[in-house]
Amino acid sequence: MSWWHIALLAVVQGFAELLPVSSSAHVILAEHLMGLDPAAPEMTYLLVMLHTGTMLAVMIYFWRRWWPLLHSAHFPKMVILATATTGVIGLGLKEFIERIVLRASPDAEIEHLFRNLPLMALALFSVGWVIVIAGSRKPPAVDAPLTPKRSFMIGLVQGVCLPFRGFSRSGATISTALFYGISRELAEQFSFALAVVLTPAVLFLEIHRLLKAKEGLLADGQTVMGLLSHGFLGMFFSALAGLVALRWLSSWLEQGRWKYFGYYCWFVSGMVLWVSRVMPASS
C-alpha cells in the first residue's frame, strides 16, 4: 500500500464512520476499487486502526456529553451489559460461521466474508430498511429510560452486526434505541460509547491475527514495523477526518433526518452490486 492509499481510506473511514451507513462497507468497496484484498490480515488490521482513529475523534467530541452520565453508575453499567452481550453473540456467530458456514475451507476465517460484495450489498439494503422505519416513527411524548432489557437488546443487535460488513453497527444500535422510545441524543451517546468500549478488544484480535499471519516474517523487523506504522498513520488521518465531519454528521440525527441515511444505504447497496458485477470483467 502506498501512503495515498492509506490517506484516502482513512478519509473515507473518518467521514463514513459517523454516518449510519457502514464505514466498513465504504472502506472495503474502496479497497476493491484499488485492487486491494479486504480479507488480507494487513487490510483487516488497517480497517480496525481506522476505526480506532475515528473512535478517538468520538471520545474528544462526546466527552462533555458523557461526563454527566458517568457520574451515575447506571450508564456505565448499561454499557458493560450491552458490551458483554455483544461479546457473547459476536463470538458465537464467529464460531458458527467459521466452523459451519465456511467449513469447506480448512483455513476459514470470518474475514473471508469481506470479499463477498453481494452479501455486503444485502446487509446495506437490510440496515437501510431498519433505519428508514426507525426514522419514520414519531418520537414518543415521553422519552423511555435506558433499562437493562433495552441495553441487552441493543448489545444483542450490535453482536449480530459484527460479522457482516455493510450492516451498520451504529445504524442498527441507534435504530434499536429509537424503536424503544429512547431519546435521539441518548441513543447516539449510548451507541458511540459502545463503539469506544468495543474497539480495543477488536484491535487486539486483529493485531494477533496480523502477527500470526506474518510469523514467518518476524525476523524482518522492518516489515512488521512497516505494517504497524501503516495502521498508526491511517489512525491519525481517520481521527482528523472524523473531527472535521462529526459535528455536521451527528446533527442529522438530532434534527430528525435519520431516515435519509437509510435511503443512502440503499443507494450504496446498488453501487456495491454494480461493482461486484464489473470487477471480475475488469480484472
Domains held by the chain: number:
1
pLDDT tens per residue, range 57-104: 889 988 888 998 888 889 999 999 999 999 999 889 888 887 777 765
Write down how long the chain is: 283
Place of cell 426514522: 135
Q: What confidence score (pLDDT) does residue 282 get?
A: 40
Q: What confidence score (pLDDT) does residue 47 get?
A: 77
Question: Rounded mean pLDDT of 141-150?
Answer: 94
CA distance 80 to 76: 6
Using pLDDT thresholds of 50, 70 and 90, give the confidence band for residue 27. Answer: confident
Q: What confidence score (pLDDT) does residue 180 get?
A: 95
Using pLDDT thresholds of 50, 70 and 90, give the confidence band for residue 42. Answer: confident
pLDDT tens per residue, range 170-196: 899 999 999 999 998 899 899 999 988
**Which of 14-28, 142-156, 164-178, 267-281 ranks highest by mean pLDDT?**
142-156
Q: What confidence score (pLDDT) does residue 147 get?
A: 97
pLDDT tens per residue, range 236-258: 999 888 887 777 767 777 777 88
Which residue range forms the structural domain that includes residue 167? 3-282
Place of cell 451489559: 81
Residue 279 pLDDT exceeds 90: no
In the numeric block, which cell numbers belong to residue 216?
A: 514467518
Task: Enter the pTM of the model.
Answer: 0.81
Place of cell 506504522: 229
In the numeric block, which cell numbers belong to residue 51?
A: 476505526
Q: What confidence score (pLDDT) does residue 20 get?
A: 77
Sequence-distant (6+) residues with CB within 8 A of 182 are 143, 144, 145, 146, 150, 190
Using pLDDT thresholds of 50, 70 and 90, give the confidence band for residue 2. Answer: confident
Inter-residue contact 194 to 82 (CB < 8 Å): yes
End-to-end CA distance of the chain: 19
- With the CA atoms of 232, 235, 241 and 242 taken in that order, what torsion angle do they form, in degrees rounded to the nearest 10? -150
Q: What confidence score (pLDDT) does residue 35 get?
A: 82
